[in-house]
Structure 1
Amino acid sequence: MTAGKGKLLIAEPFLGDPNFERSVVLLCEHNNQGSFGLVLNQRTNLNLDDVIDNVYSDLPLHIGGPVEQNTLHFIHRLGHEIDGAVDIGNGIYWSGDFDSIKTLINIGKITEKDIRLFVGYSGWSAGQLANEINRNSWIISETDASFIFDTPTDQFWRAVLKRMGGEYKILSNYPIDPRLN
């Protein structure tokens, strides 16, 4: 399977990069200029109302990646209800008009099952991600909105591998440090 917009990058268990250890990244953009993604399973101890004024919600924030952690990004399954939303496939949308998002959050029309918010992002320059994939640093998988928004963050890496079955299901049980096994 090849990398592409809407695909998941699953960090193989021996990646060795602390920024991406046991991470699952959703690719939001992937082209000749490079790739942009968001780590789906690294939650912070902050909520949206901790970083944005006039938002009355305890929606959790996630670490989207090590790049520009002073920026806010989001994916959702609200479709084109949000102006400017980018369809990345399988019922998953990236970005859009944040004022609309704030309004819908404040009136209780958006819950944690509809949106995931991130500080920072994961980025690769042209050819960089392809090189990492060729070195077997990432496992590529399909996904859909239900899996992303209904799977608990702390179980995400294991759950996606189990869902893939076969050899990947075995990897899902691999200990973080096999020396301690």
Structure 2
Amino acid sequence: MQEGDNNQYMEGQYLIAMPSMDDGRFAHSVVYVCAHSEEGAMGIILNQPVDNINFSELLKQLNILPEGDEYELPPDLRNMKVYQGGPVDTGRGFVLHSDDFFLEGFSLPIENGICLTATLEILRALAEGRGPSRALLALGYAGWAPGQLESEIQANGWLTCAADPSLVFEVQDHDKWGRALQIMGIEPGMLSSDAGHA
């Protein structure tokens, strides 16, 4: 693909769910678009933490970290949240991370120093303190068939904006939706969930 040919694609951008979003799985969600082409789109929801599991518990389930060894983890990883990345392939882990870690053939560079890796090796690297400096771990992903995402955007299901990497890694979950709107210059109160209703 020639440079400039992918202007219509949204890789490396945010999808911000409109208040009128009628799919509860995406209510008030912010999705980071990891891949988008004529074959469809794939992204990770950034602001839906899974309540009943953290990083160390996930490592135990995957037999990467033996029971009782959570204190061997770097302190900032012990209670690292795990996110619900989307409704597709929910048994599989996906890590959005800084580009200071890269597995040739497995890591997908996206935009602005953010990569996506979906192998157990990145979880091992994190557990051993040799992983990326910034990471967001998600189970599952959001996927769209060819043309589906474009149709949802045209139907006012989503707003799109350029990504600010700090939103992925630094902003509190409950602030991400509002912060993404602020990046666009929109105050959340300006958006009505009753748009189009008399």
Q: 1:7 corresponds to which residue? A: 13
Q: How does 1:31-70 map to 2 (within 5 A)?
A: 31-45=37-51, 46-52=53-59, 53-55=63-65, 56=70, 57-70=78-91
Residue 35 of structure 1: CA displacement? 0.6
1:124 aligns with 2:124: no
1:68: Cα distance to partner? 1.8
Q: In 1, Cα distance between the equivalents of 2:29 and 2:86?
A: 10
The alignment status of 1:92 with 2:114, answered yes or no, reads yes
CA contact (8 A) 2:9 2:37 kept: no
Structure-1 residue corresponding to 2:30: 24
The unaligned stretches of length 5 or more in structure 2 are 1-6, 71-77
- Measured on the aligned residues, the alpha-carbon RMSD in Å equals 2.4
Match of 2:93 in 1: 72
Residues matched between the structures, number: 172
2 CA distance for matches of 1:156 and 1:66?
20
- Cα distance in 2 between the residues matched to 1:13 and 1:144: 21
1:27 corresponds to which letter in structure 2? Answer: V
Give, as a single letter, the amino acid of the residue that structure 2 aligns with 1:70: G
The CA deviation at 1:86 is 1.2
In the alignment, residue 103 of structure 1 is paired with which amino acid? A
Paired letter, 1:23: S
Q: Which moved more, 1:49-58 or 1:30-39?
A: 49-58
Normalised to the residue count of structure 1, the TM-score between the two structures is 0.84
Answer yes or no: is the 8 Å Cα contact 1:35–1:126 preserved in 2. yes
Choose from 145, 161, 164 the match for 2:184: 164
* 5+ residue gaps, structure 1: none
Does the CA-based 8 Å contact 1:48-1:58 persist in structure 2?
yes
- Please give the secondary structure, in 1, of the residue aligned with 2:25: coil
Q: Look up the equivalent residue of 1:67 and give its one-letter code.
A: V
Q: Give TM-score, length-normalised by structure 2.
A: 0.77
Shift of 1:79: 3.6
Corresponding residue SS for 2:24: coil
Q: Are 1:40 and 1:62, in contact at CA under 8 Å, matched by a contact in 2?
A: yes
